[in-house]
Amino acid sequence: MKSIPVLLLGCGGVGRQLLEHVVNCRALHSQQGLVLRVLGVCDSRSLLVVDDVATKGMQDSFLMEICRAKSSGSSLSSLLRLGQCQIFKDAEMMDKVIDIAGLLGRSTGLAVADCSASSETVNILKQAVGLGCCIVLANKKPLTCGIEAYEKLISNFRRIRFESTVGAGLPVIASVTRLLASGDPIYRIIGSLSGTLGYVMSEVEAGKLFSEVVQAAKSLGFTEPDPRDDLSGMDVARKALILARLLGQQINMNDIKVDSLYPEELGPNSMTAEDFLRCGLSSIDRDFQERVRVASSNGKVLRYVCMIEGSRCEVGLQELPKDSPLGRLRGSDNVDHTIWCILNIARATLSRPLAKIV
Ligand SMILES: NC(=O)C1=CN([C@@H]2O[C@H](COP(=O)(O)OP(=O)(O)OC[C@H]3O[C@@H](n4cnc5c(N)ncnc54)[C@H](OP(=O)(O)O)[C@@H]3O)[C@@H](O)[C@H]2O)C=CC1
Ligand SMILES: N[C@@H](CC=O)C(=O)O
């Protein structure tokens, strides 16, 4: 049985789903000859780690206890009473992660999984790569910093996985990577890449208020911790940048044209996320209702679209025909848009009309 040690950075909605998935897939992993040994879990304040990282892993009952504690708002340190672990806080916690990476990176292929929404993890990840670790990311921010950081992170392509950064659990990155590896050129990617904005657009189309729908998307766990990351288009722009860089474009965030759904005076420099949700958001309702009405009177719907073609990379709101592939999308449904996106890549690749492939 091959034992793969795992260190998890970030234990919010996605991090907890990952831990539960690991626990629920033990039998499957065993058939595959694998055991994932979770050594440590950290959030923004502390790292909880087993006392002997070379041999021990957290028990499944303890992993589930971590998930329960974090979803009820308790701190990781509240779990110290259960024994088994040590806790490291603030600057010490990242030093400890690097110690563990140094000890286990090359010898075991330690996997450092980043399920945080932080831009601060990039330095740890770069060091982990240098120490021979594998890195796995749901967090888009490390891959969308400067181009040098990106190149360092992907420098050993066999040791990085970032499938969830674009299209959640669907194989967008895998499909693009395989097409590129086969030698086929990809001329264009067009997609509706945000679960949040997909959900928002189809709910406002059905007559609901923009502010109510954004609040619902947050409760459903679709949004980023600050939903303005989605509404500003920045989250989609990050996905676009990851895809564009994968296609070989040497570009940065400021090369992407991004269309925001809220005015600058409602931005993070002017108010907190709480104030934005409590009062800022509803001030956009009327404007948005009008945009939906105008689109509908033209027989169209609004979709937030990502377009990558040649050196062009842009994301923004578009009026599209209701029966177009993106216009037909409903809710946060990722399946349609991803399949469409992949087909569109295939269409560009094969230079044949989409209809023939469908
Ligand atoms: N929601 C979704 O459907 C999808 C989300 N993603 C991506 O997954 C990531 C996580 O999303 P989600 O779980 O919803 O976000 P949450 O806000 O629920 O969780 C973020 C977690 O990261 C922790 N954290 C913050 N800063 C740091 C840091 N410097 N080091 C270590 N941990 C840190 C937070 O700590 P604390 O608990 O102390 O606040 C929290 O536990 C995001 O990058 C998102 O874009 C990707 C695909 C789908
Ligand atoms: N906030 C994102 C979550 C996944 O990346 C989205 O809505 O798509």
3-state class of 342 per DSSP? Answer: helix
Cβ 195 under 6 angstroms from ligand 2 = yes
The reply to whether 296 and 153 lie within a common domain is no
Cβ 220 under 6 angstroms from ligand 1 = no
The structural domain count of the chain equals 2
What residues have CB less than 8 Å from 310, skipping those under 6 apart? 187
What ipTM does this complex have?
0.98
Locus of tokens 């990311």? 137
The reply to whether 11 and 120 lie within a common domain is yes
The reply to whether 118 and 213 lie within a common domain is no
Q: Does an H or E element contain 26, and which? A: helix 26-31
Q: Could you list the beta-strand ranges (E) of 80-140.
A: 85-89, 111-114, 134-137
Cβ 13 under 6 angstroms from ligand 1 = yes
Per the domain annotation, does 311 fall within a domain? yes
Which token pair is 294? 């105008």
Report how far ligand 1's centroid is from the alpha carbon of 115 (Å).
Answer: 5
3-state class of 9 per DSSP? Answer: strand
Report how far ligand 2's centroid is from the alpha carbon of 200 (Å).
Answer: 12
Cβ 139 under 6 angstroms from ligand 1 = yes
Per the domain annotation, does 181 fall within a domain? no
Distance CA 300, CA 297 (A): 7
What is the domain range of residue 83?
2-165
pLDDT for the residue numbered 24: 98
* φ, ψ dihedrals at 137, nearest 5°: -125, 130
User: Residue 152, Cβ neighbours under 10 Å: how many?
Assistant: 18
Which token pair is 252? 């940065």
Locus of tokens 């831009």? 119
The reply to whether 159 and 22 lie within a common domain is yes
Cβ 194 under 6 angstroms from ligand 2 = yes
How far lies 69's CA from each of 75, 191, 332, in Å? Answer: 7, 37, 28
Per the domain annotation, does 173 fall within a domain? no
pLDDT for the residue numbered 168: 79
The reply to whether 78 and 227 lie within a common domain is no
Per-residue pLDDT reduced to its tens digit, 219-267: 999 999 999 999 999 999 999 999 999 999 999 999 999 999 999 999 9
Task: Give the CATH number for residue 277.
Answer: 3.30.360.10
The reply to whether 42 and 85 lie within a common domain is yes
* φ, ψ dihedrals at 22, nearest 5°: -60, -45
Cβ 192 under 6 angstroms from ligand 2 = no
Distance CA 7, CA 1 (A): 19
- The list of the chain residues with pLDDT below 50 reads 334-339, 343-358
Ligand nearest to the CA of 47: 1
Locus of tokens 């967008």? 172
Report how far ligand 1's centroid is from the alpha carbon of 13 (Å).
Answer: 7
In this structure, are residues 204 and 231 in contact, taking their beta carbons and an 8 Å threshold?
Answer: no
The reply to whether 237 and 317 lie within a common domain is yes
State the amino acid at position 98 in one-letter form: I
To test the pocket of ligand 1, the residue of 8, 14, 242 to mutate (highest count of ligand atoms within 8 Å of its CB) is 14
Q: Which atom of ligand 2 is the closest one to the Cα of 198?
A: 7
The reply to whether 230 and 328 lie within a common domain is yes
Report how far ligand 1's centroid is from the alpha carbon of 44 (Å).
Answer: 9
The reply to whether 21 and 64 lie within a common domain is yes
Q: Which residues pair with 41 in a beta bridge?
A: 8, 48
Of 165, 196, 227, the one marking the end of a domain is 165
The reply to whether 192 and 223 lie within a common domain is yes
Q: Which atom of ligand 1 is the closest one to the Cα of 45?
A: 38
pTM across the whole model: 0.93
Q: Which atom of ligand 2 is the closest one to the Cα of 165?
A: 5
Nearest CA to ligand 1 atom 25: 44
Of 114, 130, 165, the one marking the end of a domain is 165
The reply to whether 119 and 199 lie within a common domain is no
Q: Which atom of ligand 1 is the closest one to the Cα of 11?
A: 41
Of 134, 165, 196, the one marking the end of a domain is 165
Q: Which atom of ligand 2 is the closest one to the Cα of 193?
A: 8
To test the pocket of ligand 2, the residue of 115, 230, 236 to mutate (highest count of ligand atoms within 8 Å of its CB) is 230
Distance CA 189, CA 241 (A): 12
Per the domain annotation, does 174 fall within a domain? no
Cβ 261 under 6 angstroms from ligand 1 = no
Per the domain annotation, does 302 fall within a domain? yes
Ligand nearest to the CA of 88: 1
pLDDT for the residue numbered 84: 77
Per the domain annotation, does 103 fall within a domain? yes
Cβ 224 under 6 angstroms from ligand 2 = yes
DSSP string for 273-340:
HHHIIIIIGGGGHHHHHHHHHHHHHTTEEEEEEEEEETTEEEEEEEEEETTSTTTT--TT-HHHHHHH
Task: Give the CATH number for residue 17.
Answer: 3.40.50.720
The reply to whether 94 and 221 lie within a common domain is no
Which residues are known catalytic residues?
239
Per the domain annotation, does 182 fall within a domain? no
Per the domain annotation, does 341 fall within a domain? yes
In this structure, are residues 320 and 337 in contact, taking their beta carbons and an 8 Å threshold?
Answer: no
For 154, which DSSP code?
T
Distance CA 256, CA 241 (A): 8
Ligand nearest to the CA of 170: 1
